[in-house]
């Protein structure tokens, strides 16, 4: 570690210039608006669970912000993706194309739906699914019958494709969408990390059949725990609400349910937080963009690769990331910074290196493996008080 200390200490100093002294978390929530008042209003109204005006308001605010026609709030992002995959037509025994460089919730959700994961590689520039790798996989391994795609190796139907906008950096979603259309594969965007990210003027999550968002405590905005399904399809939105509210048929007093469904509806208390956070979201995004600018200027001068929003896109910079030279340097960096009270972390371990998904089909994952050894996240919260010089 001593070999790297001269290189790493200036990074620690920079984070302290931005965030101050003491322990610096990776990403903390900020509640400096109407959060407390809206929670009190909920308590006073007695509507604190899955029925309440704030749930509807939060959904409407989210639809308006993203440009989607409909939004359905859920208890968390994993639940949103689980239901979203079922709404997209994924059935037990199907396959879903995704990326191995992702948070485990992506794979867990498709497993809940009874599907098998198949992994294709990512782009080094975006950390998200590579349309080039996707096309290569489709050409080599997929045959089309009756408007559906089938894996020639397994014989299973490939029902959906789930790319992720990693750390808020938009992937090459337009090219991915075109391939999915060509092969008859439903596109479900995992936009859990990309609220406030755009391709041109179009918000991430609006390119496929539907998309899902997350509002966990470490996201750009938080509801404590929560997620959202967004879509332009009215029928899918209605079915999403039905499936996430135990499939109860509306009636003044009878309890009639028409399918096995889920109790995934977001509580009103969480939605109250979300409404207040939405009021602050534009300001949060401006501040996070400035933090990313400061990181970028510093790392440019140091000759270290800072992950910037790809050309033609706007990132929310949920988690800022750098690419180090080797696994050894990465491990030394993590040890040094965390020992100094500056929380940093590596990118996720590849899904194919986890026991549950080690036998999943993949394309070699060359870029994913390279990035796994080198990418680390830096503190990325909205700073409190002055930003510094």
Measured at the alpha carbon of residue 288, what is the angle toward residues 313 and 39, in degrees to the nearest 5?
115
**Residue that is written with structure tokens 């390119």 in the block:** 207
Token reading at 80: 């949103």
CA dihedral over 130, 132, 135, 141, signed as positive or negative: negative
Measured at the alpha carbon of residue 182, what is the angle toward residues 70 and 89, in degrees to the nearest 5?
45
Which of the following is catalytic: 209, 219, 238, 288?
A: 219
CA proximity to 318, closest of 133, 106, 135, 164: 164
Residues 255-284 as b/e (b if ≥16 CB within 10 A, e otherwise) read eeeeeebbebbbbbbbbbbbbbbbebbeeb
How many C-beta atoms lie closer than 10 Å to residue 182's C-beta? Answer: 12
Token reading at 23: 């322990």
Determine the Cα–Cα distance for residues 197 and 157; give it in Å rounded to an integer.
Answer: 32
What are residue 176's phi and psi, to 5 degrees?
A: -65, -45
Write the CB contacts of 380 (distance below 8 Å, at least 6 apart in sequence): 26, 27, 288, 291, 317, 318, 319, 320
Token reading at 239: 């079915």
219 included as an active-site residue: yes
Residues marked as catalytic = 219
């Amino acid at each position: 570690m001593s070999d790297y200390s001269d290189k790493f200490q200036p990074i620690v100093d920079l984070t302290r210039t931005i965030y101050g002294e003491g322990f610096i978390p990776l990403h903390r929530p900020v509640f400096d608006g109407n959060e407390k008042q809206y929670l009190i209003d909920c308590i006073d109204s007695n509507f604190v669970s899955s029925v309440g005006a704030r749930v509807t308001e939060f959904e409407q605010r989210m639809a308006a912000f993203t440009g989607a026609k409909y939004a359905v709030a859920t208890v968390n992002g994993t639940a949103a993706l689980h239901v979203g995959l079922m709404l997209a037509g994924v059935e037990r025994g199907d396959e879903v194309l995704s990326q191995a460089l992702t948070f485990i919730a992506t794979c867990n959700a498709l497993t809940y739906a009874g599907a098998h994961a198949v992994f294709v590689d990512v782009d080094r520039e975006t950390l998200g699914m590579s349309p080039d790798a996707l096309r290569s996989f489709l050409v080599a391994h997929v045959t089309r019958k009756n408007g559906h795609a089938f894996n020639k190796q397994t014989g299973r139907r490939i029902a959906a494709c789930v790319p992720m906008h990693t750390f808020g950096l938009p992937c090459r979603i337009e090219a991915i969408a075109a391939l999915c259309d060509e092969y008859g594969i439903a596109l479900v965007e995992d936009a859990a990390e990309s609220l406030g990210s755009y391709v041109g003027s179009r918000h991430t999550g609006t390119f496929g059949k539907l998309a899902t968002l997350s509002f966990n405590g470490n996201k750009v905005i938080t509801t404590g725990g929560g997620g959202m399904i967004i879509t332009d399809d009215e029928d899918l939105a209605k079915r999403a609400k039905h499936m996430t509210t135990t499939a109860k048929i509306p009636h003044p007093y009878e309890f009639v349910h028409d399918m096995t469904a889920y109790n995934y509806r977001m509580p009103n208390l969480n939605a109250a937080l979300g409404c207040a956070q939405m009021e602050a979201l534009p300001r949060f995004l401006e501040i996070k963009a400035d933090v990313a600018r400061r990181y970028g200027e510093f790392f440019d001068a140091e000759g270290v690769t800072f992950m910037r929003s790809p050309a033609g896109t706007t990132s929310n910079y949920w988690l800022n990331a750098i690419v180090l030279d080797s696994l050894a340097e990465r491990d030394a960096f993590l040890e040094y910074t965390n020992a100094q009270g500056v929380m940093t972390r590596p990118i996720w371990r590849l899904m194919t290196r986890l026991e549950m998904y080690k036998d999943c089909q993949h394309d070699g994952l060359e870029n994913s493996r390279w990035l796994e050894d080198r990418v680390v996240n830096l503190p990325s919260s909205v700073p409190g008080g002055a930003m510094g010089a």
